[in-house]
C-alpha cells in the first residue's frame, strides 16, 4: 500500500512538472502589438509585386519582389515573435526605400543576444540547446553559413510541441524545418557548394518512405533524445542514425522517449496495450502489442506444457 502511495505522489509530481513545461510566455491571443506599423514593410515584403514612386521621373514603378524576401503576415503573427516590429530586429533605416545598400552589412541578432542567461526563458534551456547545436553536424562542418536562423525562420518560427497540436501536426512542422532545406537545392547550396542527395534515395532502406515520414520525425533517427531537453538539437553524423527497425518496432520503442513524450503524460489511457498513446495516431508493429493477448498466449503455452507432461506421465505409467 505504502509503495503505491509513493508511486502515486511521484506520478503527480511528474504530471505537474510536465504541465509547467507548457507555460507560454508570449501572449498568443491578443492583437499583435505592431500590426499597424508593420503594414508598411508588408506592403512590399508580403506581396509578389511592389510599387514605389520614382523620385527622378515622378512616375509610379511596379516591380517583382525577390521571392526569398516575401513573408506571409499570417505566419509571422502565429510565431513566437508575433508582437515584434520588423525594426526591432532590422535597422529603422529600412523605413526608407530604396534601402541604403550598406544596411545589408548590419550584424543580425542571434537568439542568444536576447535569450542567453535570461531566467525568464529558463524552461527553454537555451544554453544547453546552444551547446548541443555546436556539436551537431551542421554547426561542426558549416559554422560560417549555418546558425539557429537556418532552422528557426525569423519570420515564422512557432512553438508546436508545447501547444496542443496533434502528433501528426508536430511531425509535419518539424520535418518541414528539415525538408525546406534538404529538398530545396537553392537553400541547401546556400550552406555549402555540393550536390544535394535525394532523401528518398538515402532512406530507401525503409519499406514505406512516405508512411514513415508522415509518422515519425527526422530527429527521431538523427539525434539521441535527452531528458532535460524538450527538443533534441544535436544532429549526429549519418553513421550514427537509427537504422534498426526494432528501435521503434518493439515494446520499449524509442518513440515513447521522443515523439510521444509530449503526450505521454496528458493522454495516459492504458487500454491494455503497450505504449497505448501511440495508437491515437498510428499502429506500430511490435510496439503496440496487446498485454492481454500476451498473457493469454502465456496461459495457453502453460496449458499445452501441462497437457504434454500429463501425457508423458500417463505413457510412463502405462
Ligand atoms: C517599397 C517597397 C519596400 C518597402 C516599403 C520595404 N522594403 Fe525592404 N526591400 C524591398 C526590396 C525591393 C528589397 C530588395 C533589395 C533592394 O532592392 O534593396 C528589399 C530588401 C530588404 C532587406 C534585405 C536587404 C539585403 O539585401 O540583405 C531587408 C532586411 C528589408 N528589405 C527590410 C525591410 C523592412 C524592415 C521594411 C519596413 C520597415 C521594409 N524592408 C520596407 C522593398 C521594400
Ligand atoms: C526576431 C527578429 C526579426 C524580426 C521580428 C524580423 N526579422 Fe527579418 N530577419 C531577421 C534575421 C535574423 C534575418 C537574417 C536571416 C538569415 O540569416 O537567415 C532576417 C532577414 C530578413 C530579410 C532578408 C532576407 C535575406 O535572406 O537576406 C528581409 C527582407 C526581412 N528580414 C524582412 C523583415 C520584415 C519585413 C519583417 C517584419 C514583418 C522582419 N524581417 C522581421 C530577423 C527578424
Ligand atoms: C531581438 C531579440 C530576440 C531575438 C534575436 C530572439 N528572440 Fe525569442 N523572444 C524575444 C522576446 C522579447 C520574447 C518575448 C516576446 C513576448 O512576450 O511577446 C521572445 C520569445 C521567445 C520564445 C518564447 C515563446 C513563448 O511563448 O514562451 C521562444 C521559444 C523564443 N523567443 C525563441 C527564440 C529563438 C529560437 C531565437 C533565435 C532563432 C530567438 N528567440 C531570437 C526576443 C528575441
Ligand atoms: C536543425 C534545425 C535546428 C537548428 C539548427 C536549431 N533549432 Fe531550435 N528547434 C528546432 C525545431 C524543429 C524545434 C521545435 C519547435 C517546436 O515544435 O516547438 C526547435 C525548438 C527550439 C526551442 C524550443 C524548445 C522547447 O523546449 O520548446 C528553442 C529554445 C530553440 N529551438 C533554440 C535554438 C537555438 C538557440 C539554436 C541555435 C543555437 C537552435 N534552436 C538551432 C530546430 C532547430
Ligand atoms: C527511420 C529512421 C530515419 C528517419 C525517420 C530519417 N532518417 Fe535520415 N538517415 C537514416 C539513416 C539510417 C541514414 C544513413 C543511411 C546510410 O548511410 O545508408 C540516414 C541518412 C541521412 C542523410 C545523409 C545523406 C548522405 O548520405 O549524405 C541525411 C541528409 C538525412 N538522413 C536526412 C534526413 C531528413 C531530412 C529526415 C526527415 C525528413 C530523415 N533523414 C529521416 C535514418 C532516418
Ligand atoms: C539550411 C539548410 C539545412 C537545414 C534547415 C537542415 N540541414 Fe541537414 N544538412 C544541410 C547540409 C548542407 C548538409 C551537408 C553537410 C555536409 O555534408 O557537409 C546537411 C547534413 C545533414 C545530415 C548528414 C550528416 C552526415 O553525416 O553526412 C543529416 C543527418 C542532416 N543534415 C539532418 C538534418 C535534420 C534532421 C534537419 C532538421 C532538424 C536538418 N538536417 C536541417 C543543410 C540543412
Ligand atoms: C523511428 C521509428 C521507426 C523506425 C526506425 C522504423 N519504423 Fe516502421 N513504422 C514506424 C511507425 C511510427 C509506423 C506506423 C505508421 C502509421 O501507422 O501511420 C511504422 C510502420 C511500419 C510498417 C507498416 C506499414 C503499413 O502499411 O502499415 C512497416 C511494414 C514498417 N514500419 C517496417 C519497418 C522496417 C522494415 C524498418 C527498418 C528498416 C522500420 N519500419 C523502421 C516507425 C519506425
Nearest CA to ligand 5 atom 33: 218
Q: pLDDT class for 111, splitting at 50, 70, 90? A: very high
- For the Cβ of 87 lying below 6 angstroms from any atom of ligand 1, the answer is yes
Range in 58-67, 197-206, 215-224, 246-255 with the lowest mean pLDDT:
246-255
Q: Ligand 3 centre from 74 Cα, in Å?
A: 18
pLDDT tens, 82-92?
A: 999 999 999 99
Higher per-residue pLDDT: 57 or 257:
57
**Average pLDDT of 54-65?**
95
Mean pLDDT of the chain: 86
Residue corresponding to grid cell 546556400: 190
- For the Cβ of 137 lying below 6 angstroms from any atom of ligand 6, the answer is yes
| pLDDT exceeds 90 at position 318 | no
Q: Ligand 5 centre from 115 Cα, in Å?
A: 31
Residue corresponding to grid cell 535527452: 226
Extract long-range pairs of 208-216: CB within 8 Å, 24+ residues apart.
Answer: 213/175, 214/168, 214/171, 214/172, 215/168, 215/171, 215/281, 215/282, 215/284, 216/171, 216/248, 216/255, 216/259
Burial of 77 (0-12, 13-18, 19+ CB in 10 A): middle
| pLDDT exceeds 50 at position 2 | no
| pLDDT exceeds 90 at position 50 | yes
pLDDT tens, 112-156?
A: 999 998 999 999 999 999 999 999 999 999 999 999 999 999 999
- For the Cβ of 88 lying below 6 angstroms from any atom of ligand 1, the answer is no
Residue corresponding to grid cell 547545436: 133
- For the Cβ of 90 lying below 6 angstroms from any atom of ligand 2, the answer is yes
Nearest CA to ligand 4 atom 2: 151
| pLDDT exceeds 80 at position 161 | yes
| pLDDT exceeds 50 at position 265 | no
Cell of 239: 553513421
| pLDDT exceeds 60 at position 97 | yes
Amino acid at each position: 500500500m505504502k509503495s503505491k502511495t509513493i508511486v502515486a505522489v511521484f506520478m503527480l509530481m511528474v504530471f505537474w512538472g510536465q504541465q509547467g513545461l507548457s507555460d507560454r510566455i508570449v501572449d498568443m491571443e491578443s492583437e499583435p502589438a505592431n500590426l499597424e506599423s508593420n503594414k508598411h514593410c508588408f506592403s512590399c515584403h508580403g506581396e509578389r509585386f511592389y510599387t514605389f514612386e520614382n523620385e527622378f521621373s515622378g512616375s509610379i514603378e511596379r516591380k517583382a519582389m525577390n521571392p526569398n524576401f516575401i513573408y506571409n503576415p499570417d505566419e509571422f503573427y502565429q510565431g513566437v515573435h508575433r508582437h515584434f516590429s520588423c525594426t526591432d530586429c532590422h535597422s529603422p533605416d529600412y523605413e526608407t526605400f530604396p534601402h541604403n545598400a550598406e544596411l545589408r552589412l548590419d550584424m543580425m541578432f542571434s537568439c542568444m543576444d536576447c535569450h542567453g542567461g535570461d531566467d525568464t526563458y529558463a524552461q527553454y534551456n537555451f544554453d544547453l540547446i546552444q551547446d548541443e547545436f555546436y556539436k551537431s553536424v551542421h554547426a561542426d562542418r558549416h559554422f560560417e553559413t549555418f546558425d539557429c536562423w537556418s532552422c528557426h525562420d525569423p519570420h515564422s518560427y512557432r512553438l508546436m510541441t508545447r501547444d496542443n497540436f496533434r502528433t501528426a501536426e508536430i511531425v509535419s512542422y518539424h520535418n518541414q524545418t528539415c525538408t525546406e532545406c534538404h529538398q530545396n537545392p537553392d537553400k541547401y547550396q546556400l550552406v555549402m557548394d555540393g550536390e544535394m542527395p535525394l532523401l528518398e534515395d538515402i532512406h530507401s532502406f525503409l519499406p514505406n518512405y512516405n508512411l514513415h515520414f508522415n509518422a515519425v520525425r527526422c530527429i527521431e533517427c538523427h539525434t539521441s533524445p535527452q531528458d532535460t531537453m524538450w527538443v533534441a538539437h544535436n544532429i549526429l553524423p549519418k553513421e550514427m542514425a537509427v537504422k534498426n527497425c526494432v528501435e521503434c518496432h518493439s515494446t520499449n520503442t524509442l518513440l515513447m522517449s521522443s515523439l510521444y513524450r509530449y503526450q505521454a503524460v496528458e493522454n495516459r489511457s492504458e487500454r491494455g496495450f503497450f505504449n497505448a498513446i501511440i495508437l491515437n495516431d498510428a499502429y506500430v508493429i511490435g510496439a503496440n502489442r496487446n498485454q492481454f493477448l500476451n498473457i493469454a498466449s502465456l496461459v495457453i503455452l502453460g496449458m499445452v506444457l501441462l497437457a504434454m507432461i500429463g501425457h508423458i506421465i500417463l505413457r510412463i505409467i502405462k
